[in-house]
Structure 1
Amino acid sequence: MKINLKSLLNPQIDRRGFLKSSALFSGAAAVTAGLTLPFKTTKVQASTLAESADKEKVVWSACTVNCGSRCPLKMHVENGEIKWVDTDNSGDDNYGEHQVRACLRGRSMRRRVYNPDRLKYPMKRIGKRGEGKFKRISWDEAFTDIAADITRIKKEYGNEAIYLNYGTGTLGGTVTKSWPPGGSLLARLMNLSGGYLNHYGDYSSAQIAAGLSHTYGGWANNNSPSDLENSKLIVQFGNNPAETRMSGGGVIHHFMEGKAKSNARLIVVDPRYTDTAGGREDQWIPIRPGTDTAFIAAMAHVMITENLVDQPFLDKYCVGYDEKTLPKSAPAKSDYKSYILGSGEDAVEKTPEWASKITGIPADIIIKAAREIGSTKPCAVIQGWGIQRTANGEIASRAVAMLSLLTGNVGINGGGSGAREGGSSIPFVRFPTLQNPVEASIPMFLWTDAIVRGPEMTAVKDGIRGKDKLDVPIKFIWNYAGNCIINQHSDINRTHDILQDEKACEMIVVIDNHMTSSAKYADIILPDLTTSEQSDFCMDASAGNMPYFIFASQVIKPQFEAKSIYDICTGLAEKLGVKEAFTEGRDQEGWLRHLYQLTRAQDPSLPEFEAMRKQGIYKRKVKDHFVAYQDFRNNPKANPLSTPSGKIEIYSEKLAELAETWDLAEDEVIHPLPVYAPTFEGWEDSKQGNYPLQLTGFHYKSRTHSTYGNVSLLQDAAPQEMWINPMDAQGRGINNGDLIRIFNDRGELHIAAKVTPRILPGVVALGEGAWYAPDGQKIDHGGCINVLTTQRPSPLAKGNPQHTNLVDVQLVNKV
């Protein structure tokens, strides 16, 4: 369907070109490629608003979805209804004090609030899980049934059988936050009721968090994107903020401003020519998925043999680059330099010619890139989370960091650590969730396994933490503001079969705004309020040189019978006998005032509560860019890292220990060094079986994961398509726009083809987050990539390898 631009530019015209009574966007809104709008919004004076108050009121709200930004929205309300949505118009728009303009997703908030899929009242399942058949029930009946099931399951199995599933639908909120689940109000409720089975890691960054923690200790920071104004070269590995973090407060704005100031060269390494490249790049290096470590090893070979490494930095700050800094426990020749030069255990020299066969990158390009990175300083190496979301993503994340380490760019302006971008924030006191009495924790990706084989799961095989093994399977699931029950979890057909067995997981409670794919698998559904129907403080997640937070006020009255998560938990707390302990005598407004008072006690410069409500957004310009590990670089003895050695660990004794003690499959690799290891369902396997194409996913600009996936206007602007190179398409008789079947032994989906040279031959790509829409024959017509992804976890983090898949593609009419 074609988009009528008039309907987007004029809030009084619909997409057919007809007048309408209410509007979606401000008159300044326009379709873009997914970036923040390239013009200034019109300032609205307070006096103008006062003059029209009898006709219209304007209320500050926010978009709090999981895109890495929090964006302010100005909701224009008439007679209790949102008529159109504007965005930030405060400040003079000088960089560092700029307007935080929401992207087109946030500006479509009105279509989320009034969406046909909106959940209206509590419901109880009457069909099979997944059928979407429910009956309406009262709130009291819902609370009574849920409390009874919690009490029964606690008595029969213990609190370890109750699980808070992963959800990120409301991110950055204070009362409403869904991530991490351990920081949500449900966690507070369950902690007052005996606890719950916890999880660690997340779908976005489990592998990089685990991998780089063994390099830098703890969560690995990087310089803020605003610091790119000091860089001479920027190297992006699988990082695409133009689509993932595309608002005025997001990384892409700071990236563009910083790069414009420095005029730094940009190298983009990605199998797909992304919108972040989009004419900004000086070089695009398309690479086969899962082979980044081989590419980096070959560049390291060039740097070492041509004396382009920063030896003094490696000697002073790092462990295990060469033999003289190896730990005493390490075998001889187990250092990184020996591995690269072929004198290590595998006796393979990691030359550009060796890597070229693996990566598909010509040797001369590898050599040129290595020389440029090795001779240009400061150089900012940044990795997105795409390359670590693979079968050996932990190793890949450590490998990217090697480029920063070999060149000594860590801890300096314009350089970086090789991790994802960092940033500054304004400290804010968050809602207390109390201590979880249950010690056991599972990797978040293995919750379906914990249903079917919970007591078989152990620490050394499945990464169980807090105890050696689980005692009971998962019997009760809380799913708040998340679509991971089915849509965002891997191997949907397997998950469907597991959830169909009501004797396995006995109760699933979904709290959400819409009838998502996951909500259809609930036993009881509780309708949640949107951000527009309640008040909350919302924090920015990835600011560069201007951190901020938003007071999102209640814009309209709650729709239908929906309740806030605070009121839902309060009602359940009363049934469970912990209401007083849960509320501490406060309602939601009372908690907001209390938490803000505590925050202002730490920072008296913040506005008063009512002034903040009126102001809507608070911005703070940061004088100095955030530079990761700067204190360590300046004085490593006074500021040691939290690694066992206190230094940057290229060779990790802890990883060597895990490699020896954990129960791993033959093709699973945990290694003390960032070595290249072929992945299951990787490029090597594509030459041997029935599925010759590597399928990778990407975050799509029409959605934030699955949020906004049911907004028809955004679907029309950026339809779900599978990217395929003309060479691969021609051999299959596929033309642009053809309906194709993408399939492997896990499932099949039908979707339109996007034939484009912007994807490497042998690789196809599909935007993640599209809503699962099966036809009853296990064929998905919504384009949900997780019909095809595997539930086999990565070796170290036990994370999701959702970009490691082999598939084939055919025309639908070709069987």
Structure 2
Amino acid sequence: MTNHEKTSVSRRTFVKGSALAGLGAAAMGTASLFGCAPAAESTGELADTGEAVADTIVWTHCAVNCGSCCALQCHVQDGEIKYVESDNTGSAELGEPQLRACLRGRSIRRWLQSPDRLNKPLKRVGKRGEGKFEEISWEEALDTIASEMKRIRETYGDEAMTSHYSSGVCQGQVQANPVKRLLNLTGGFLNYYGSYSSAHISAAGTYTYGGGTYGSSFLTIQPGQLVVLFGDSPADTRMGGGGHTHDFAYIRETTDCRVITIDPRMTDTTCGQGGEWIPIRPGTDGALCAALAYEIINNGWADEEFLHTYCVGYDEETLPESAKGKNASYKDYILGTGPDATPKTPAWAAAITLIPEQRIIDLAREMHESDPVYIGQGYGPQRRANGEITARAIMVLPQLLGQIGKPGMNDGRREGCASVGLGMLPTGENPVTTNIPTFEWPNAILHGEELTALNAGVQGADKMSSSIKFIWNYAGNCLTNQHSDINLTHDILADESLVEFIVTSEVFMTDSAKYSDIIIPDLTSQEQISISSDGYSDNMIAVIFGAPVYEPKFERRGIYEVCADLAERLGVGDEFTEGKTREDWLREIYDEARTANAEKGMDMPTWDEGYAMGVWKMKPEPIVKLADFVEDPVANALPTPSGKIEIYSETLAGFEATWELAEDEVVTALPIYDPGFLGYEACTEEYPLQITGFHYKAHTHSSYANNEVIQTAAQHVAWVNPVDAEARGIKDGDTIRVFNDCGEIRIEAKVTPRVIPGNVSIPQGMWHDADMAGDRVDHGGCINTLTKYRPTPLAKANPQHSNIGQIAKA
């Protein structure tokens, strides 16, 4: 693999060898904090032998689920990373994109070489969740796992086995697929659909456009136009050069577009780059959309030619036959001529959203007058109890204005992303057809046999045949830390009569790993040969060819090799590997993508050429979503039942009539406004505040949250409005209690007007730290101590921003 590496002078050489070494060391305080390279060059340093000390530069990439995937150049010396640079290839002056890492990726030296890494297989010796383990050999670990896989499969059936949802290794073409391949070859497993990140908007896109989460590219935005973003902050969520924050910043600088962000929190997208912030009460975006629609329709601004040509359900004329004659159209709902007889006026919405009536009126006019207008949404508004209908409500706005299918326009979904189309390690066919929503897994443990298509969204079967008895958790912290209601989940997992065996493959002792019966130490993507595309961005498509930064240390092993050994024990060794190594599979995956893209006119390098380069990239054409459909809606019909955009969904009307729903759960044919369970209307005197989470630059979900150097740079604090703080005697920097019926956390308060009154915003992802045998108070600041476990009505997904609670000075 030497063709992937090159030699450079080390940072130590620069600092010691420079005539200004003392000043250089002092001036580089921030750079060295994140392991970054110095900007200057050096002539070298003589070691004790009289020879120059040199580094080996190894290309690799970040791999966590932030939405980006950025290139890293690791300077390695004597088997250790000395410092990390990112992508410096291409010319910024010529507009050539660079996959520059954010502070998380640049701090990876501290993460990979942490003294807290797992180094040997472990067996639980205490109660589940207690965190007591003893070291064992690989032979014992593999024998135990294989034996338990056989026993549980033979006792309970194939559906009792599952590979748990995870995103700790998101970028790369292997991920958890070796585990799924192994499970499929030995009988299959209970699979899941959806994700913790985007299940609601994905469902909304399915019943509106026939599928998909992403819309048009930021790069299509035109000079001077209006951009309206609901709960979308690329500067917070997709920070790296391989993500949308670069694309959006570039467009804002080059087009001078006007940006309005609608969010309970003033995000860095507004605070750092300008634009207008419209504060909104959490969970009420659907009410704002309804009032904007009222102004658009009532003032004659709706593009009825577009709506009649491309959409179903706008008015009586476009309703399906099954819904006609019932005042069931979207227009009836908005104007108050529908069943609820309530006009969705700006005054009506102002009382719900806390946005002034006149600002709503003005925003509707601004959206009408801007041609084009780009309307998009992030994942925040949809990750709520009413998230599915909220996401659909936002999608209606560009439909009403006819702002779809042309440059500068979006279809109301998240910003678009280009893709090189790399495949994945094949998992083979799963003999088990039953599929459950990923958020339903605790229910599938407690009473799996009772879960059906009508009460739990089971797909591929009318109902489950078994509860979950075996969990393989690969690179995931969703058993507890990233899942709702940690105290409840602790009780479920700690009961060994429920799940009988849990195996975790990890690099650290996460909170979730503590609930394992066997833990096996994994290698990170940077410690193995790997390839990855660039992630979610629209200004480039790229492939990063990653080499191991050093030889595997201690007894850590890659998941592919571990599963190959288990496959031998389970009698499917040849079928699992097909005689191929990890590198063989990666070469095959890459060559398949290269051949497919060559047919489209894309000139990708050979594997050997790309591996020598470290990173290959090109600029794609900007994405205009639904352009073909708008050009010819008959020849390019959408994959919806009608072939058109469905404002009114007959499929959802069927669900509304047949699904088993609680009184406060809503599945509707139209994207109406409903506050959802645990919305602002649920606040009480005891719990008067809403509590929402947000993604933060110091960690990606829980990845890197144990990297103290980043936490020093970007502290984990709860955002509290001065009005709420003053009423409770809380000052900036105070440690506060945040609590509700689910639990209690301790966290530092950030008193700031950048969050709307009545809402406390807490970054998600910090590691849970509580005495689970004692008071269970979490001192890590993990918001999922406070979130309710209750799947949403349609997607059966996580409503993790729908919480009420109280705060007090600790």
Q: Which bin holds the TM-score, normalised by the shorter protein?
A: over 0.9
1:262 equivalent among 255, 261, 267: 255
**Cα distance in structure 1, aligned partners of 2:304 and 2:555:** 65
CA contact (8 A) 1:268 1:281 kept: no
1:486 equivalent among 480, 489, 511: 480
User: Where does residue 87 of structure 2 map in the other structure?
Assistant: 88
CA contact (8 A) 2:223 2:256 kept: no
Q: Post-superposition shift, 1:469?
A: 1.1
1:303 equivalent among 283, 296, 304: 296
Matched, 1:779 2:772: no
Q: Post-superposition shift, 1:80?
A: 1.3
2:415 equivalent among 414, 421, 432: 421
User: Where does residue 797 of structure 2 map in the other structure?
Assistant: 799
Q: Post-superposition shift, 1:11?
A: 11
2:728 equivalent among 715, 723, 732: 732
CA contact (8 A) 2:28 2:38 kept: no
CA contact (8 A) 2:473 2:504 kept: yes
Secondary structure in 2 matching 1:633? helix
Matched, 1:656 2:656: no
Q: Output aligned runs, 1:96-495, within 5 Å.
A: 96-175=95-174, 177-178=175-176, 184-229=177-222, 232-332=225-325, 333-495=327-489
CA contact (8 A) 1:231 1:379 kept: no
CA contact (8 A) 1:130 1:496 kept: yes
CA contact (8 A) 2:395 2:411 kept: yes
CA contact (8 A) 1:207 1:389 kept: yes
Matched, 1:548 2:542: yes
Q: Post-superposition shift, 1:331?
A: 4.1
1:693 equivalent among 686, 689, 693: 689
CA contact (8 A) 2:166 2:476 kept: yes
Displacement over 6 Å in runs of 4+: 9-13, 25-28, 39-45
CA RMSD of aligned residues (A): 2.3
User: Where does residue 672 of structure 2 map in the other structure?
Assistant: 675
CA contact (8 A) 1:492 1:787 kept: yes
Structure 1 residues not aligned, in runs of 5+: 1-8, 14-18, 46-51, 179-183
Q: Post-superposition shift, 1:94?
A: 3.9
Q: Post-superposition shift, 1:590?
A: 2.0
Structure 2 CA distance for partners of 1:215 and 1:96, relative to 1, 3 Å: farther
Q: Post-superposition shift, 1:763?
A: 0.6
User: Where does residue 7 of structure 2 map in the other structure?
Assistant: none
TM-score by length of 2: 0.93
TM-score by length of 1: 0.93
**Cα distance in structure 2, aligned partners of 1:510 and 1:229:** 49
Secondary structure in 2 matching 1:779? coil
2:787 equivalent among 768, 786, 789: 789
Secondary structure in 2 matching 1:269? strand
| Range 220-229 or range 429-438, more displaced | 220-229
**Which residue identity lines up with residue 810 of structure 1 in the other structure?**
A
| Range 724-733 or range 449-458, more displaced | 449-458
Secondary structure in 2 matching 1:780? coil
User: Where does residue 49 of structure 1 map in the other structure?
Assistant: none
User: Where does residue 68 of structure 2 map in the other structure?
Assistant: 69
**CA deviation map 1:555-600 (0-9, x unaligned):** 1011210000111111111111111111111111222223333333
Secondary structure in 2 matching 1:277? helix
**Which residue identity lines up with residue 634 of structure 1 in the other structure?**
E
Secondary structure in 1 matching 2:240? coil
**Cα distance in structure 2, aligned partners of 1:402 and 1:320:** 11
Q: Post-superposition shift, 1:406?
A: 0.9
**Which residue identity lines up with residue 695 of structure 2 in the other structure?**
H
**Which residue identity lines up with residue 738 of structure 1 in the other structure?**
D
Secondary structure in 2 matching 1:210? helix
2:585 equivalent among 585, 591, 615: 591
**CA deviation map 1:13-58 (0-9, x unaligned):** 9xxxxx99xx9x99994889xxxx9x9978999xxxxxx9962110
User: Where does residue 766 of structure 2 map in the other structure?
Assistant: 770
**Cα distance in structure 2, aligned partners of 1:523 and 1:703:** 27
**Which residue identity lines up with residue 179 of structure 2 in the other structure?**
L
1:710 equivalent among 706, 713, 728: 706
Structure 2 residues not aligned, in runs of 5+: 1-10, 16-20, 44-50
User: Where does residue 641 of structure 1 map in the other structure?
Assistant: 638
Secondary structure in 2 matching 1:276? helix
User: Where does residue 558 of structure 1 map in the other structure?
Assistant: 552
**Cα distance in structure 2, aligned partners of 1:154 and 1:11:** 58
CA contact (8 A) 2:97 2:539 kept: no
CA contact (8 A) 1:736 1:753 kept: yes
Q: Output aligned runs, 1:512-591, within 5 Å.
A: 512-591=506-585
| Range 696-705 or range 257-266, more displaced | 257-266
CA contact (8 A) 2:97 2:619 kept: no
Structure 2 CA distance for partners of 1:42 and 1:226, relative to 1, 3 Å: farther
**CA deviation map 1:413-438 (0-9, x unaligned):** 00101101112111223321111100
CA contact (8 A) 1:31 1:104 kept: no
**Which residue identity lines up with residue 718 of structure 1 in the other structure?**
A
Structure 2 CA distance for partners of 1:261 and 1:30, relative to 1, 3 Å: farther
Matched, 1:748 2:744: yes
Structure 2 CA distance for partners of 1:640 and 1:11, relative to 1, 3 Å: farther
Q: Post-superposition shift, 1:102?
A: 0.4
Q: How many pairs align?
A: 778
**Cα distance in structure 2, aligned partners of 1:44 and 1:167:** 44
**Which residue identity lines up with residue 81 of structure 1 in the other structure?**
E
**Which residue identity lines up with residue 609 of structure 2 in the other structure?**
A
**Which residue identity lines up with residue 709 of structure 2 in the other structure?**
L
Q: Post-superposition shift, 1:515?
A: 0.8
Structure 2 CA distance for partners of 1:712 and 1:28, relative to 1, 3 Å: closer
**Cα distance in structure 1, aligned partners of 2:591 and 2:366:** 52
**Cα distance in structure 2, aligned partners of 1:43 and 1:197:** 55
**CA deviation map 1:495-547 (0-9, x unaligned):** 00011110110011100111111111111001000122111111122121311
CA contact (8 A) 2:222 2:372 kept: no
**Which residue identity lines up with residue 704 of structure 1 in the other structure?**
T
CA contact (8 A) 1:265 1:281 kept: no
**Cα distance in structure 2, aligned partners of 1:109 and 1:40:** 17
Structure 2 CA distance for partners of 1:409 and 1:31, relative to 1, 3 Å: farther
**CA deviation map 1:439-476 (0-9, x unaligned):** 11111001011111111111101111111111111000
User: Where does residue 46 of structure 2 map in the other structure?
Assistant: none
